[in-house]
């Protein structure tokens, strides 16, 4: 064990917390991967029911220490109690959703093609297919979700649900929170009598150990939520591996909102947008960073109401020094550049890393000629772009890079008139929203939290919702296998009572 | 248009064929990608039924010229008529399977979570998800499958079925065959009144244009079947793109066969294995290149029968000069190396590129210490490895790299005694086979033709069977969308009459 330790930072007081966290060594990392590989031999053979019990037990163990988590998480992140409580609830909800998914076993996508021994010119074999887990998964904790996208967050829950061991690289912004969650998971593994190698974590002072983790031959996939720079740096390392593995990086987005005519005059629109821009100090990957409308009197009026509103907001502390510095530098640059108009700023609250919410304005023409304007500014900031006409707005949607979400605000008749815009949007995003803001990602069976690059590195996946499990599995088929050697999902009797594709048709039948 | 042309080679006569094929230019490549992007705007909105009609029409147009294809393909590849006829049938079967998949629409994986407007503390939105096509797909023709894995092969069929335009990089071994198929596809697109940009192809003298194709920003995924060197070279180029895209490379494998005790004495085993080793002059990615057994009297007897059998086989011509040279060099190296025993060789048939089928022997100990022995030798060759004991055999299965298939030959009681070996096998392969040889890949709903690296670059996919369609799609979800703006798969009335997940449960119901 290394003797080097680090501490976490309180963004309100500007002081480091007392608790010391021991930096992991490369040797420990190797040992943890080896332990995960050995644990996989056991864990891959557990039933969905056993995995469901593990996930439920993890949720229970976390719930049992939620007051302790609340205490440390608010100190480390500067996020208010309500937000941490909400995020704890969401984390428990995710663990329990994946418990349900694991227990019901339908994620295995069982498919059976029955034999035709008398087929001419050649007999047809019995072929049965299902999904199996990949092996040890590396999960990177996210700065902005100390719970829901960190140690026991969505990536961990979905990887465990499908039978994969997990090694978490903790985020240095909230190591105390991480420790509480680790302890809860270890207790859950003990209670479930499962190998402790199923879950482990590393703490890194800098980036070396995280880099070593994604390059380790024992790691079979990576789940990452964070910045574009962090994501693409890791992706680069992954692509240099001898064995290619999937890298699921969710790297944020500016989540455009298109305001159609009626929306500009909707009396609730300004407060709805303000709520979304400022939620969690704007530190969400679904923060609405771009508001598009057609210029005119209504748009001018809307802008002045938005300006009033932003000036009345109170900025809060950001998560850590790096995020704070980057936000401050970005806003300083915007106020100094002629191509933007800084419409207004809120006031700073008490606290070391407190920032001012900010709203800027530009024209469609300028937006189209300044690619930097479409880059995410992480924090309570949004850019209103007023377009000369519909064609310019369409051009922006055509030119814009991949996004997590795109929202349309308006009446149904207006949507029908703008079908071409909605079709364009579908090319660019993972989620198209009508008359809602992008913040508040529902964790359910149909949610897609993903999208084309650079929103993610894997547009064919989601990191929220039941389908997140598909990231950590691969298909295997069995040809003419004896019943006793088949996974339960593929046995004649359908002991799991799941829907299976039988000769191409969904069915609950036995064979 | 370039004035440079190339000709294909007749591996029997050793002469070039008369027909000249015009090399594409980089400018033409760019134009084809642009045309594909424009065609995508139309094609992505076609119904499953329209795509099914296109695929059926392509099949019909190919079938109408099958005699012409037979003539040119046998000349260009040296493969016998029966093989080309069989492969034509398989190609038509694939196109028609994907027509069925497109028409039935269940590949869209529709999922609907209904709204809960009264939920506390926040209302729940209506969220609906389905899969949509990615955009223009690059497909690389394979040397060893002039039809089934080339111009209108599985990759093209599955990409078209899900609404993606295709640009094929033709394989230089069979450009005349390629031209026949291209013409058939163009006629089908005309008959279906669809934009011709949906399908196009390029011919390259060397590797530059193929490299430019996979790096083109308009290309959204790549399907490749070929050598490890070709596949990893393209993967390297893909990983240097600004926008990462999926690269589905199927790069072959040595397809180990484990002979349990009873199998060594099975009177049909020798002829079964010989048939598989020599099928198509061993030029299959599923060729059994490794035969594992425990040494002893039965194994010795089996080896001598295998030696007799290989000596009685007649070698045929290989597909092209490069493949022939590589095979000859590999076998020469084996006969000169002390670690192998060259058990026997067949005789060469008439023909310029004719080779001798070859069988070698080594010990488990030597196999474990010579990693080169587990590399594929493309052609009619297999290596018998006699292990000292079960533990050594298990060690080989543990050490071996990812494979497309792994077969176990024996009686059911023996399988039960070797459950640990079968569990090990599951970690390494896409398909586990009981009492059959790996050649002969059934095209169906449950087939997995894939496996961990280096068998493929994407172990979570298959390049054969209905699930191949999943390679070229991504999910999109719609939040609170009006009915008229939803894809048909997600509309309340379920107009496509498909199984959908409704609040997590499979159902044919309306909403």
Interface predicted TM-score (ipTM): 0.96
Annotation says A250 is catalytic: yes
Question: What is the rounded CA–CA span in Å between residue B39 and residue B36?
Answer: 5
Beta-carbon separation of A422 and B244 below 8 A: no
Asked if A39 contacts A187 with a C-beta cutoff of 8 angstroms, the reply is no
CA distance A462 to chain B (A): 8
Question: What is the rounded CA–CA span in Å between residue A431 and residue A285?
Answer: 13
Q: Is the peptide bond before A40 cis (omega within 30 degrees of 0)?
A: no
Beta-carbon separation of A485 and B415 below 8 A: yes
User: pLDDT tens digits for A301-348?
Assistant: 999 999 999 999 999 999 999 999 999 999 999 999 999 999 999 999
Q: What is the 3-state secondary structure (H, E, C) of A449-509?
A: CCCCCCCECCCCCCCCCHHHHHHHEEEEEEECCCHHHCCHHHCCCCCCCCCEEECCEEECC
CA distance B351 to chain A (A): 29
Chain B nearest-CA residue for A129: B446
The residue to which tokens 């071409």 are assigned: A420
Asked if B225 contacts B145 with a C-beta cutoff of 8 angstroms, the reply is yes
Q: Is A361 left (phi over 0), alpha (psi -120 to 50) or beta?
A: beta
pLDDT at A122 over 90: no
Between vectors from CA A433 to CA A429 and to CA A436, what angle results, nearest 5°? 140
Query: Please, which residues have CB within 8 angstroms of residue B387's CB and are 6 or more apart in sequence?
Result: B292, B293, B294, B295, B363, B364, B393, B396
Beta-carbon separation of B446 and A422 below 8 A: no
Beta-carbon separation of A475 and B124 below 8 A: no
Rounded-to-10 torsion of CA A376, A382, A388, A389: 80
Annotation says B250 is catalytic: yes
Asked if B292 contacts B327 with a C-beta cutoff of 8 angstroms, the reply is no
For residue A368, the model assigns a pLDDT of: 97
Report the percent of chain B where pLDDT is more than 70: 100
Beta-carbon separation of B111 and A446 below 8 A: yes
Count of other CB atoms within 10 angstroms of residue A7: 16
User: pLDDT tens digits for A32-41?
Assistant: 999 999 999 9
Q: Rounded mean pLDDT of chain A?
A: 96
**Least CB-CB distance to B466: which of A448, A499, A504?**
A504
Beta-carbon separation of B482 and A412 below 8 A: yes
Query: Please, which residues have CB within 8 angstroms of residue B298's CB and are 6 or more apart in sequence?
Result: B261, B264, B265
For residue A3, the model assigns a pLDDT of: 81
> What average pLDDT does this structure show over A227-244?
94
> What average pLDDT does this structure show over A7-30?
97
How many Cα atoms occupy the beta-carbon half-sphere of A36 within 13 Å? 29
Residue A134's pLDDT band (cuts 50, 70, 90)? very high
User: pLDDT tens digits for B135-192?
Assistant: 999 999 999 999 999 999 999 999 999 999 999 999 999 999 999 999 999 999 999 9
Q: Which domains does chain A possess?
A: 23-251+462-471 (3.40.605.10), 256-434 (3.40.309.10)
Which tokens in the block code for residue A180?
């509480």
Chain B nearest-CA residue for A484: B416
Asked if A288 contacts A439 with a C-beta cutoff of 8 angstroms, the reply is yes
Residues of chain B predicted below pLDDT 50: none
The residue to which tokens 């509480």 are assigned: A180
Question: Residue B505: in which H helix or E strand, if any?
Answer: strand B505-507
For residue A106, the model assigns a pLDDT of: 85
Question: What is the rounded CA–CA span in Å between residue A280 and residue A358?
Answer: 14
Question: Residue A99: in which H helix or E strand, if any?
Answer: helix A81-104
Q: Is A148 left (phi over 0), alpha (psi -120 to 50) or beta?
A: alpha
Asked if A163 contacts A51 with a C-beta cutoff of 8 angstroms, the reply is yes
Of residues B250, B316, B376, B392, which has the active-site annotation?
B250
CA distance B453 to chain A (A): 6
CA distance A278 to chain B (A): 18
Beta-carbon separation of A445 and B235 below 8 A: no
Chain A nearest-CA residue for B483: A412
Residue A121's pLDDT band (cuts 50, 70, 90)? confident
For residue B121, the model assigns a pLDDT of: 84
Question: What is the rounded CA–CA span in Å between residue B378 and residue B319?
Answer: 11
Most distant pair of Cα atoms in chain A: their distance:
81
Question: Residue A181: in which H helix or E strand, if any?
Answer: helix A175-191
**Least CB-CB distance to A113: which of B124, B135, B445?**
B445
Question: What is the rounded CA–CA span in Å between residue B197 and residue B204?
Answer: 19
For residue B487, the model assigns a pLDDT of: 94
Chain B nearest-CA residue for A428: B476
For residue A1, the model assigns a pLDDT of: 63
Question: What is the rounded CA–CA span in Å between residue A136 and residue B42?
Answer: 42
Crossing angle of helices B66-77/B175-191, nearest 10°?
Answer: 160
């Amino acid at each position: 064990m290394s003797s080097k330790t680090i501490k976490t930072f309180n963004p309100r007081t500007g002081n480091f917390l007392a608790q010391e966290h021991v930096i992991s060594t490369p040797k420990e990392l190797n040992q943890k991967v080896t332990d995960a590989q050995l644990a996989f031999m056991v864990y891959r053979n557990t039933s969905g029911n056993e995995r469901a019990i593990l996930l439920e037990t993890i949720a229970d163990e976390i719930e049992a220490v939620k007051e302790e988590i609340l205490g440390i998480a608010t100190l480390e992140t500067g996020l208010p109690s309500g937000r941490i409580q909400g995020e704890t609830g969401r984390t428990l909800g995710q663990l329990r959703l994946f418990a349900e998914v694991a227990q019901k076993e339908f994620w295995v996508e069982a498919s059976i093609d029955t034999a035709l021994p008398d087929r001419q010119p050649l007999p047809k074999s019995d072929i049965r297919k299902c999904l199996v887990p990949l092996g040890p998964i590396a999960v990177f904790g996210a700065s902005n979700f100390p719970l829901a996208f960190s140690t026991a967050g969505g990536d961990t829950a979905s990887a465990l649900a499908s039978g994969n061991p997990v090694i978490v690289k903790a985020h240095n912004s909230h190591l105390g929170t991480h420790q509480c969650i680790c302890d809860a998971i270890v207790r859950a593994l003990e209670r479930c009598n499962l190998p402790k190698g199923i879950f482990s974590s590393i703490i890194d002072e800098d980036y070396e150990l995280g880099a070593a983790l994604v390059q380790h031959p024992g790691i079979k996939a990576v789940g990452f939520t964070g910045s574009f720079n962090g994501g693409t740096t890791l992706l680069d390392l992954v692509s240099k591996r001898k064995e290619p593995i999937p890298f699921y990086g969710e790297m944020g987005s500016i989540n455009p909102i298109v305001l159609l005519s009626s929306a500009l005059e909707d009396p609730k629109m300004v407060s709805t947008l303000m709520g979304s821009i400022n939620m969690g100090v704007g530190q969400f990957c679904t923060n609405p960073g771009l508001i598009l409308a057609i210029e005119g009197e209504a748009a001018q009026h809307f802008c002045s109401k938005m300006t009033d509103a932003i000036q009345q907001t109170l900025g809060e502390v950001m998560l850590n020094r790096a995020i704070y510095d980057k936000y401050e530098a970005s806003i300083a640059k915007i106020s100094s550049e002629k191509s933007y108009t800084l419409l207004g700023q809120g006031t700073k609250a008490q606290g070391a890393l407190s920032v001012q919410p900010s709203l800027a304005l530009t024209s469609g023409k300028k937006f189209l000629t300044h690619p930097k304007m479409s880059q995410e500014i992480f924090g309570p900031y949004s850019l209103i772009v007023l377009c000369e006409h519909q064609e310019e707005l369409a051009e922006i949607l055509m030119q814009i890079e991949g996004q997590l979400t795109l929202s349309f605000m308006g009446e149904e008749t207006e949507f029908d008139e703008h079908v071409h815009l909605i079709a364009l949007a579908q090319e660019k995003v993972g989620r198209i929203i009508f008359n809602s803001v992008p913040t508040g990602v529902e964790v359910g069976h149909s949610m897609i939290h993903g999208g084309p690059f650079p929103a993610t590195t894997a547009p064919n996946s989601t990191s929220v919702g039941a389908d997140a499990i598909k990231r950590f599995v691969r298909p295997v088929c069995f040809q003419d296998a004896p019943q006793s050697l088949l996974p339960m999902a593929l046995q004649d009797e359908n002991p799991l009572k799941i829907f299976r594709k039988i000769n191409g048709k969904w069915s609950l039948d036995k064979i």
